[in-house]
A and B are shown apart, each in its own frame.
Chain A
Amino acid sequence: MTSVPVRVNEDLCIAEKGCTVCVDVCPLDVLAIDIVKGKAFMKFDECWYCMPCEKDCPTGAVTVDIPYLLR
């Protein structure tokens, strides 16, 4: 478990091929692409655990956990 609620499986993420779907759909705008790695990551811990990022990711790379304070 990471310190932030949204985990990206870097083996599956295809951001280096130009995908930005999870970043686009997040209502809170808390995801971003690490340009150096070419992978998506959670940049701000401000999450509504609503799940568009996970649902819309074309490769199933995203997992949303319930934020620790609520768990």
Chain B
Amino acid sequence: MQTQTQTVDVLVIGGGTAGPMAAVKAKEANPALKVLLLEKANVKRSGAISMGMDGLNNAIVPGHATPEQYVKEITIANDGIVNQKTVMAYAENSFAMIEELDRWGVKFEKDETGDYAMRKVHHMGTYVLPMPEGHDIKKVLYRRLKRARIEITNRLVATRLLLAEDGSIAGAMAFDCRSGDFHIIRAKAVILATGAAGRLGLPSSGYLFGTYENPTNAGDGYSMAYHAGAELSGIECFQINPLIKDYNGPACAYVTGPLGGYTANNKGERFIECDYWSGQMMMEFYRELEGGNGPVFLKLDHLAEETIQNIETILHSNERPSRGRFHEGRGTDYREQMVEMHISEIGLCSGHSASGVWVNEFAETTVKGLYAAGDLACVPHNYMLGAFVYGKIAGESAAAYCAQAPLAEVDEIQIATERERVWAPLSRPDGLPPLQVEYKLRRMVNDYLQPPKVTRKMEIGLQRFEEIRHDLDRLSASNPHELMRALEVHAIRDCAEMAARASLYRTESRWGLYHNRVDYPARNDEDWFVHVQLKKLNGEMHCFKRPIEPYIIELDEQEKTAYQKLRISKDALSNAREQDTLTSV
């Protein structure tokens, strides 16, 4: 096994959604730059949008919504804890990005007059744009990468960022999951786009790779940013999704809702007003699931044959095309049966909730020369279009930064230390198998961190994660593929510890189920109307508060609690936890 070194201007890590966009936009901003897109899998089919996408969850299309309305909606959906400037930077660029993707050949649904066929799914505004023919999106991106002459390396797993003496970025280190070779990539700027931490909780099926997120996204980027000294934010605002039980893919109320489908309890009755995924919606889902009215189902059996055929065509061919096979295996026919649902394992993902590496409206992290975009960058509810927009912002910011940034010297000690850590499992003939350690770690994540969050349980969890830290030194791998799994366990463990520490730090409840703390059941705006940040200080994990920047869009009094009134039934009051209204800012 060898060590290889190369030097570029901009290094983009992760070639899923945000990454390819970042690479293309950096190169377009300055064609003289050497831009490298480094991917763990293969850019052709990697990431969350591997097979396509069912729609844009947050499209801001003139005539249907304004950026101001969107910023309000997300501020309220995320219980006030947002840096509005970052959400606004997304919102203002949202429509231009849709038009650009449209020109590139991505297919969005349009009405007879050629306008985008927008659908209302959110509580307040209209933001969903279906893409029933969205399966070509990776192909379209790949064509743009080729046209822009972006250099691509596949099957390299980034493991740590390289830092200059002053703490700014100097590049990254990676290994080849087929040959085991160690790679040093020197760069002036690095863009992290490695997606969610999707292998944190264990799916209830027990299958390690049966996750909601693409399991290639094991949280590597969260761990790399943390070890580079970057601030992370909102880690305690977990991602938990309402999914098809066991299959663990989205039931797609966004697709079926506008066609008449809805989430129902075991009596076939609606119990939530709005299917848009939020912590409050998940709380109601959880209550229904655990109460006598569970399980929860997706109800389509009342729809017309034609509508059902249409739903089948979309849902069984696009985003998660194996769904039809799953239903077939269980004998589920939308015409006859409701589809049983469940809640997912926990994950970290700002694309869906709010956990991520802290960025400002220029996609800058708190480490100089390091940018972040997509699911791992903290811009709440950013979804796919947010990944594209922030990919663009990150690419352009990094290109501008390169103009005045020197190439930092590399520190041989960092390299030697990391190479030793990466290669170590290969030289341990009979250590612990990575998948066993991963199974145990993720089972403990379920046992101790899955909400409702209990203080004593999370403390025990932290103790267990500490013990597993020592097990990392006993991991063994017999080939480079297994080595990849071993290194992923390191990252998953870091994410588990972050999830526990940030959750323990915020001593209140917020975001419905996402941060439901049994020992602190009320929302406490006086002390906790702040971001919770997490950062490595002197080798230790530290949490601290960061004030919320003054809002740029004020909220109307009656809107502030909109997402806290999602339950339909009359007994809503007796059921719902007392929640204060948002304090005015």
Contact = CB atoms under 8 A, between A and B. Distances in A.
A24 B44 contact: yes
A49 B247 CA distance: 10
Interface in A18-70: 24-29, 43-44, 46-52, 55-56, 64-67, 69-70
A64 B205 contact: no
Contacts of A55: 51, 321
Contacts of A17: none
A9 B503 CA distance: 49
A55 B211 CA distance: 21
Contacts of A64: 322, 325
Contacts of B325: 64-66
Contact of B210 (A25, A26, A56, A69): A69
B374 to A, nearest CB: 16
Nearest to B46: A27
Contacts of B206: 69
Given A29-B177, A50-B51, A55-B51, A70 B44 contact: no
Interface residues of A, number: 24
A46 B326 CA distance: 17
Interface of B is mostly: loop
Contacts of A24: 42, 44, 154
B579 to A, nearest CB: 36
A26 B215 CA distance: 12
Contacts of A25: 42, 44-45
B94 interface: no
B85 interface: no
B320 A46 contact: no
Contacts of A43: 481
A48 B246 contact: no
Choose among A27, A28, A56, A71 the residue with the greatest number of B CB atoms under 10 Å from its CB: A27
A45 to B, nearest CB: 8
A70 B41 contact: no
A26 B41 contact: yes
Contacts of A71: 246, 326, 329-330
B296 to A, nearest CB: 18
Given A49-B322, A50-B51, A70-B326, A28 B207 contact: no
A40 to B, nearest CB: 15
A54 to B, nearest CB: 9
Contact of B42 (A27, A69, A70): A27
Contact of A28 (B41, B47, B248): B41
Interface in B293-337: 320-322, 325-326, 329-330
B492 interface: no
A70 B42 CA distance: 26
Interface residues of B, number: 35
Choose among B45, B46, B154, B209 the residue with the greatest number of A CB atoms under 10 Å from its CB: B209
B214 A27 contact: yes
Given A29-B177, A66-B325, A70-B248, A50 B320 contact: yes
Interface string B204-242: 011111110011100000000000000000000000000
Given A28-B215, A64-B322, A51 B209 contact: no
A28 B215 CA distance: 7
Choose among A25, A48, A64 the residue with the greatest number of B CB atoms under 10 Å from its CB: A48
A27 to B, nearest CB: 4
Given A29-B481, A48-B214, A52-B50, A66 B45 contact: no
A49 B41 CA distance: 15
B51 A52 contact: yes
A56 B205 contact: no
Nearest to A24: B42
B200 to A, nearest CB: 16
B45 A67 contact: no
B208 to A, nearest CB: 7
B443 interface: no
A69 B45 CA distance: 25
Nearest to B208: A46
Nearest to A67: B207
B326 A28 contact: no
Nearest to B138: A52
Nearest to A53: B45
B484 interface: yes
A49 B209 CA distance: 9
B155 interface: yes
Nearest to B39: A27
B50 A50 contact: yes
**3 closest Cβ pairs, A-B complex:** A52-B45, A27-B41, A25-B45
22 contacts: A26-B42, A26-B45, A27-B50, A29-B41, A29-B155, A46-B208, A48-B214, A49-B322, A51-B51, A52-B45, A55-B321, A65-B325, A67-B209, A67-B210, A69-B206, A69-B207, A70-B210, A70-B246, A70-B247, A70-B248, A71-B246, A71-B330
Given A25-B45, A27-B41, A46-B215, 5 more contacts: A26-B41, A48-B210, A64-B322, A66-B322, A70-B210
